[in-house]
Each structure stands twice: as structure tokens, then as C-alpha cells.
């Protein structure tokens, strides 16, 4: 590989970089195992940064902030800024469908690169790199809003009601572009809403957003 520098790190072992940039559609020697390790490393280093930079935040606030910083869309944004997509090795199908622009593929590649840097240069170099990439984002995220599922849970708990039940009712589409359908049911308020998304989590958030509005209306009518 001609250019062995990425994310500001120059690889001693270019094969690690090659593996980190190889999607599973391009062959058996791909970045899936690296992605597993990179996910843990990114979560740890970002959690450490959140803990240090927001000393007054409670556990819930820190959890929400980390979740806002370490998710597919957020990691893909970093990957785009670092032009990782242009260097990915993809199979013909993914190339044809624009896989180098897809959030999930970019986020996985970013995590794999973090693991590759860890393997290439060690803990301290990897930690410093992740902290550098996330420092401004952590500082800017002090007032990250609560997501719909959290707000719905807090509303129900405030009225001594059971938590909602989320059920996956179906999915459709190709593997690389699957859509999930979920329902959110609040039996005590006779509320049942649906939501769709590119992941089960996203679908649950969409259903929760609708359930939140319906639950608040039902509670208002009871008063």
C-alpha cells in the first residue's frame, strides 16, 4: 500500500492497515475481527474523556453523551472527514451500491482502524489518537438531549406506570439496506405505536417518539 498513513498515524506494519480497510465483501481477510476490538477501545477512550471533561454529569448524562458520540452515524461522520471511504476495499456488489458512502461500513472501518493502530503502535498511541479525534466533540456535547426511549421511560416512571414493551414485528430489504419494523406498547395507557429504521435501535426510537406523544396526551386526558 503506497500510503501507509491514516488518521494521523503512519503504520509500521502496512498489512494491518490493509486488513482494517478491507470489508467482508472483498474477501476472507477482512476487518470484522478488528472492528470488534476497535469498538471496545473507542467506547473505553471516549468514556474516559467524557468522565474527565464533565465532572458534574451523572451516570445517565454520561451514558447519553457517550451514546451520542459513539454510534454508527457519528463514527461515519469522522470517517468521512478523514476520507476513509475513498480507501476502502469493497467487493463488486458493495462498490456498485455505493458502500463506501454507507454509514455502517464507514463506522466499522473506523473502529477497525482504531484496533489496527492499537496493534501497530500500542495502547498509549491509540488512546491519544482517539482522544484527539473526540476532544472537541466531547466538549461540545455537554447538553446532549435525551433520546425518545429515555424520555418515555422517565414519563412513565413519574406516573408509576410499567415500562413500555418493544417488539420486532418484521424486517425487509437486502442485507446491506435492511429496514426493521418495531412496535412500542404501553398497555396501561392503551397506547401502541410503530416505527421503522435501518437498525432495530433506530426503529425503537422512532416508535418511542410516537408513543411519547400518545402517552402524554392520554395522561393529560386523565387529569
Residues 101-159: tens digit of each pLDDT: 888 999 999 999 999 999 999 999 999 999 999 999 898 874 556 788 988 998 999 89
Structural domain boundaries enclosing 39: 5-140
Alpha-carbon distances, residue 84 vs 5, 96, 192 (angstroms):
11, 18, 41
Q: Do 17 and 96 reside in the same domain of the chain?
A: yes
The annotation status of 52 as a binding-site residue, yes or no, is no
Domain boundary among 124, 140, 156: 140
Residue 156: phi and psi, rounded to 5, are -65, -40
Domain boundary among 140, 174, 202: 140
Catalytic hit among 111, 120, 181, 204: 111
The annotation status of 188 as a binding-site residue, yes or no, is no
The annotation status of 82 as a binding-site residue, yes or no, is no
Q: What is the largest CA-CA distance in the chain?
A: 69
Domain boundary among 140, 166, 181: 140
- Counting as low any pLDDT under 70, the low residues of the chain are 1-2, 142-145, 223
CB-facing half-sphere around the CA of 49: CA atoms within 13 A: 26
Q: Do 134 and 164 reside in the same domain of the chain?
A: no
Q: Do 110 and 33 reside in the same domain of the chain?
A: yes
Catalytic hit among 39, 103, 120, 181: 39
Q: What is residue 2's predicted lDDT score, i.e. its pLDDT?
A: 59
Active-site residue 174, yes or no? no
d(CA 146, CA 149): 8
Q: What is residue 139's predicted lDDT score, i.e. its pLDDT?
A: 86
H-state helical runs in the chain: 14-20, 32-53, 59-69, 72-81, 92-96, 103-121, 123-140, 148-158, 200-222
Active-site residue 111, yes or no? yes
Amino acid at each position: 500500500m503506497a500510503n501507509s498513513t491514516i488518521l494521523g498515524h503512519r503504520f509500521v506494519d502496512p498489512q494491518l492497515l490493509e486488513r482494517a480497510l478491507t470489508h467482508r465483501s472483498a474477501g476472507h481477510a477482512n476487518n470484522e475481527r478488528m472492528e470488534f476490538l476497535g469498538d471496545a477501545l473507542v467506547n473505553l477512550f471516549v468514556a474516559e474523556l467524557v468522565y474527565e471533561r464533565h465532572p458534574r454529569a451523572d451516570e445517565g448524562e454520561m451514558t447519553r453523551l457517550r451514546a451520542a458520540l459513539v454510534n454508527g452515524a457519528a463514527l461515519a461522520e469522522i470517517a468521512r472527514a478523514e476520507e476513509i471511504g475513498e480507501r476502502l476495499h469493497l467487493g463488486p456488489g458493495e462498490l456498485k451500491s455505493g458502500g463506501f458512502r454507507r454509514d455502517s461500513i464507514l463506522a466499522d472501518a473506523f473502529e477497525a482502524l482504531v484496533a489496527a493502530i492499537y496493534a501497530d503502535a500500542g495502547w498509549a498511541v491509540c488512546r491519544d489518537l482517539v482522544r484527539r479525534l473526540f476532544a472537541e466533540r466531547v466538549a461540545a456535547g455537554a447538553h446532549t438531549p435525551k433520546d425518545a426511549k429515555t424520555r418515555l421511560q422517565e414519563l412513565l416512571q413519574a406516573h408509576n406506570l410499567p415500562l413500555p414493551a418493544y417488539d420486532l414485528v418484521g424486517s425487509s430489504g437486502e442485507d446491506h439496506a435492511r429496514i426493521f419494523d418495531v412496535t412500542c406498547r404501553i398497555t396501561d395507557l392503551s397506547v401502541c405505536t410503530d416505527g421503522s429504521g435501518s437498525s432495530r435501535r433506530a426503529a425503537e426510537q422512532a416508535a418511542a417518539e410516537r408513543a411519547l406523544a400518545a402517552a402524554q396526551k392520554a395522561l393529560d386526558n386523565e387529569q
